[in-house]
Chains A and B, each alone.
Chain A
Amino acid sequence: MNIELFLQYVVAGITYGTIYGIVAIGFNIIYNTTGIINFAQGEFVMLGGMAAVTFSRFLPLPAAILVAVLVTTAIGALIEILFIRWLHRPSVLRMIVITIGLSILIREVALHIWGESVRALPYFTGTSVTSFRLGGVYISPQVLWVVGISTVVVASLGGFFRYTLLGMQMRACAANRDAARLCGISAKNMVTFSFMLSAAIGALGGCIVSPITYVQYDSGVPLAIKGFTVAILGGLGNSLASAGAGMLLGILEAFSISLLPAAYKDAISVAILLVILFARPSGLFGSTEVTRLKEF
């Protein structure tokens, strides 16, 4: 394998890894505030992409994306209010099953609204054939958009949680829900905000990646699995680690096809997931003691 091939694989891996990282961040936000793993996270990504394609028929591209993200955010809030908010200390099993059910429901609704066909947004810059050479490696401009926007998202998220009031309130809720409530923070609202934020980030991810691949009513499922793998890989709750873990998984997947038939590519992420769960559930960057203390 020469250096060019190697780098080309790396670029392919980074593109996808970034999306996995975004999904994982969405998981982490909700998990941190509520302790719930939202199986429907992948569906937010799908909704963002599909909605953007629909809106791009009457709006210029940036506006379409914005509206799509807002719509998905609203849906995220709606889901939380309708299904989650009024549950009183639900058991883990119950929450898992509810979010699985939600993911199925959203999928079926998407199927009946948009049909089974695949859709893609137009490339933000250039077309499906433009690419430029960077040291022997061909990169589509869309890849730069994906990586660029994702970096901005991760950075802003960090800033949001650290410096804004709302961010700090959400962190307080994550650290100790009852204490936060004693301080006057409305835990219920924090939960809603976390869903909205996750939905927004997921939707944005769906929009930026859809030109490279496509979105379909069931694109959400494999993304959720891989996103979860990445979230666990980096340590559940740790968003920055998710970004790094996402890259790692993406690159591993890309290189796997030089060894195995491509049809097994999706099995790689699941295999990694199982290995991590068995060997080190706290993830690569997580702390083992903290994980043991966490209640499940």
Chain B
Amino acid sequence: MRKQGLQIAGFAAVVAAIQLMAHVTGNPYHLTQLTMSAYYSLVVLGLCILTGYAGQISIGHAGFFAIGGYLSALLTTYNLSAHGGPIVSVLAAMGILTRRPDLYGGELLTVHPWPACIFAVLTAVAIAYAIGGPVLKLKGHYLAMATLGFGIIVYRIVLGTELVGSADGIYDVPAFPLLPGIAVSGKSSLRVMNYYVAWGFVILGMVFLLNLVRSRVGRALASIHGAEDAAEAMGIPTARYKLKIFVVSAAFAAVAGVLLTHYNGGIGPSESSVMKSVRYLAIVAIGGMANLWGTLLMSLLLNYLSLRGYFGTYDDAVFGVILILIMLFAPGGLLRRDLLEEVKGVFRGNGEKAS
């Protein structure tokens, strides 16, 4: 527990240090890409638990991200002023709706971001529950394909539906006022605040997941990953645990989707594409599969570089190559525990493998 607290504190210090450094060197704009990386990291962390710890491969997690993001975007941009009627009045009376001016001086009546967010995440969770059961019964290739299929269906639905903007997505998504004074928004004046908000979410997520891993559930997951039949024989309700973890990871992805959409002010179908899902998987792989911290660090690094455009037109290729190299040479990931211990041992100089 203490060690975990130290790790979290250390990480928080790093986050603050980066911000101060950016401020001091006069490059505060880098915070934008770092903030976006933070939200993508939420997805990756959830996937890490599912694929790394519980061993259930998912190549469709971008689908949950999209469900969260699109639903929230739709609800907060769909103008209800044109529709009268009892439902709208009831919603307005309940305080769920909000008015705001649009870009051209007109007025929009939409759902307030908070109820929209809750609705979006709950929907994603419900869908995860619904499909998790049948999907997780599958194994190996079939499981991979089923999750891939799920991601593709979400992609096709958003691509083909005019209501959510078809191929162009939804734009003009408003800021998300989390608490009075704190809003998730892309405005440059709120850049520093948003940076801390985003990484705050990540730290919260990490605390939750670290506790999960160290708890009974976590140990059960490790046993499921190791040998599912043996675990089942020991009386662990594997199906139930797998489903729980699947739902948790879906929730993480959906929350990330909602927040990033409000931060960017929009969302497009490319967020639910197969390439995005593959990217998340690649980061989990290079981060060490069952290594939350490793995955987080790698996500920070890779997403930041990609968003800054460092990979140029080879963006997708980079992640593809990473996947291949990792899987060929280091299937347990680069930042594996035992690999790190070996390296430490070398430096210790006595050739002893640390226990």
A binds B: yes
Interface set of A (CB-CB < 8 Å, partner B)? 37, 83, 87, 90-94, 96-98, 100-105, 107-109, 111-112, 221, 225, 228, 232, 261, 263-264, 266-267, 270-271, 273-274, 277-278, 281, 296
Given contacts A94-B327, A98-B327, A104-B278, contact A267 B156 (CB under 8 A): yes
Among B59, B322, B331, point to the contact of A91 (Cβ < 8 A): B331
Tell me whether B3 is interfacial, beta carbon within 8 Å.
no
A242 smallest CB distance to B (angstroms): 15
Docked Cα-Cα span, A64 to B303, in Å, equals: 42
When distances are taken between beta carbons in the complex, the residues of chain A under 8 Å from B59 are 96, 100
Q: Verify B327–A97 contact, CB threshold 8 A.
A: yes
Report which residue of B140, B145, B285, B324 has the largest number of chain A beta carbons within 10 angstroms of its beta carbon: B145
Q: Verify B57–A96 contact, CB threshold 8 A.
A: yes
- For A105, the closest partner residue in chain B by CB is B320
Having A96-B144, A102-B320, one finds 9 other A-B pairs with CB under 8 Å, namely A92-B140, A98-B327, A100-B59, A104-B321, A104-B323, A225-B149, A232-B142, A264-B157, A274-B149
Given contacts A104-B278, A281-B138, A296-B141, contact A270 B149 (CB under 8 A): yes
Given contacts A108-B317, A267-B157, contact A83 B328 (CB under 8 A): yes
Among B142, B153, B316, point to the contact of A277 (Cβ < 8 A): B142
When distances are taken between beta carbons in the complex, the residues of chain A under 8 Å from B152 are 225, 266-267, 270
- For B331, the closest partner residue in chain A by CB is A94
When distances are taken between beta carbons in the complex, the residues of chain A under 8 Å from B206 are none
Docked Cα-Cα span, A268 to B152, in Å, equals: 11
Docked Cα-Cα span, A93 to B139, in Å, equals: 10
Tell me whether B120 is interfacial, beta carbon within 8 Å.
no
B315 smallest CB distance to A (angstroms): 9
Q: Verify B57–A83 contact, CB threshold 8 A.
A: no
A99 smallest CB distance to B (angstroms): 9
Q: Verify B316–A221 contact, CB threshold 8 A.
A: no
When distances are taken between beta carbons in the complex, the residues of chain B under 8 Å from A98 are 323-324, 327-328
Tell me whether B283 is interfacial, beta carbon within 8 Å.
no
Q: Verify B142–A296 contact, CB threshold 8 A.
A: yes
When distances are taken between beta carbons in the complex, the residues of chain A under 8 Å from B274 are 221
Q: What is the size, in residues, of chain B's interface with A at 8 Å between Cβ atoms?
A: 43
Interface set of B (CB-CB < 8 Å, partner A)? 55, 57, 59, 134-135, 138-142, 144-146, 148-150, 152-153, 156-157, 159-160, 166, 274-275, 278, 281-282, 285, 313-314, 316-317, 319-324, 326-328, 331
A18 smallest CB distance to B (angstroms): 22
Docked Cα-Cα span, A230 to B316, in Å, equals: 27
Docked Cα-Cα span, A278 to B314, in Å, equals: 37
Docked Cα-Cα span, A109 to B324, in Å, equals: 15
Docked Cα-Cα span, A97 to B280, in Å, equals: 12
Q: Verify A267–B321 contact, CB threshold 8 A.
A: no
Docked Cα-Cα span, A91 to B323, in Å, equals: 15
Q: Verify B153–A270 contact, CB threshold 8 A.
A: yes
Docked Cα-Cα span, A87 to B160, in Å, equals: 41
Report which residue of A87, A101, A108, A267 has the largest number of chain B beta carbons within 10 angstroms of its beta carbon: A101
Q: Verify A104–B138 contact, CB threshold 8 A.
A: no
- For B320, the closest partner residue in chain A by CB is A104
Given contacts A94-B327, A94-B331, A274-B149, contact A264 B156 (CB under 8 A): yes
When distances are taken between beta carbons in the complex, the residues of chain A under 8 Å from B156 are 263-264, 266-267, 270
Among A104, A225, A278, A296, point to the contact of B319 (Cβ < 8 A): A104
Q: Verify A93–B328 contact, CB threshold 8 A.
A: no
Docked Cα-Cα span, A98 to B327, in Å, equals: 6
Given contacts A261-B160, A267-B152, A270-B152, contact A108 B323 (CB under 8 A): no
Q: Verify A277–B138 contact, CB threshold 8 A.
A: yes
When distances are taken between beta carbons in the complex, the residues of chain B under 8 Å from A228 are 145
A220 smallest CB distance to B (angstroms): 12
List 6 A-B residue pairs with CB atoms under 8 Å apart, sorted by A's residue number: A97-B57, A104-B278, A107-B320, A112-B313, A267-B160, A273-B149
When distances are taken between beta carbons in the complex, the residues of chain A under 8 Å from B141 are 37, 92, 96, 296
- For B51, the closest partner residue in chain A by CB is A93
Q: Verify A97–B285 contact, CB threshold 8 A.
A: yes
Q: Verify B327–A225 contact, CB threshold 8 A.
A: no
Q: Verify B314–A108 contact, CB threshold 8 A.
A: yes
When distances are taken between beta carbons in the complex, the residues of chain B under 8 Å from A105 are 317, 320-321, 324
- For A264, the closest partner residue in chain B by CB is B160
- For B159, the closest partner residue in chain A by CB is A263
When distances are taken between beta carbons in the complex, the residues of chain B under 8 Å from A232 are 142, 145
When distances are taken between beta carbons in the complex, the residues of chain A under 8 Å from B157 are 264, 267
Docked Cα-Cα span, A273 to B57, in Å, equals: 17
When distances are taken between beta carbons in the complex, the residues of chain B under 8 Å from A273 are 145-146, 149
Given contacts A270-B153, A281-B142, contact A100 B160 (CB under 8 A): no
When distances are taken between beta carbons in the complex, the residues of chain B under 8 Å from A97 are 57, 281, 285, 323, 326-327
- For A102, the closest partner residue in chain B by CB is B324
- For B160, the closest partner residue in chain A by CB is A263
When distances are taken between beta carbons in the complex, the residues of chain A under 8 Å from B148 are 225
When distances are taken between beta carbons in the complex, the residues of chain A under 8 Å from B160 are 261, 263-264, 267
When distances are taken between beta carbons in the complex, the residues of chain B under 8 Å from A93 are 55, 57, 140, 144
Given contacts A100-B59, A104-B316, A108-B314, contact A267 B324 (CB under 8 A): no
Docked Cα-Cα span, A87 to B324, in Å, equals: 12
Docked Cα-Cα span, A92 to B327, in Å, equals: 11
When distances are taken between beta carbons in the complex, the residues of chain B under 8 Å from A90 are 331
When distances are taken between beta carbons in the complex, the residues of chain A under 8 Å from B319 are 104
Q: Verify A274–B146 contact, CB threshold 8 A.
A: yes
B189 smallest CB distance to A (angstroms): 38
- For B323, the closest partner residue in chain A by CB is A101
Given contacts A266-B156, A296-B141, contact A100 B57 (CB under 8 A): no
Report which residue of B57, B141, B150, B282 has the largest number of chain A beta carbons within 10 angstroms of its beta carbon: B141
Given contacts A83-B324, A101-B327, contact A278 B57 (CB under 8 A): no
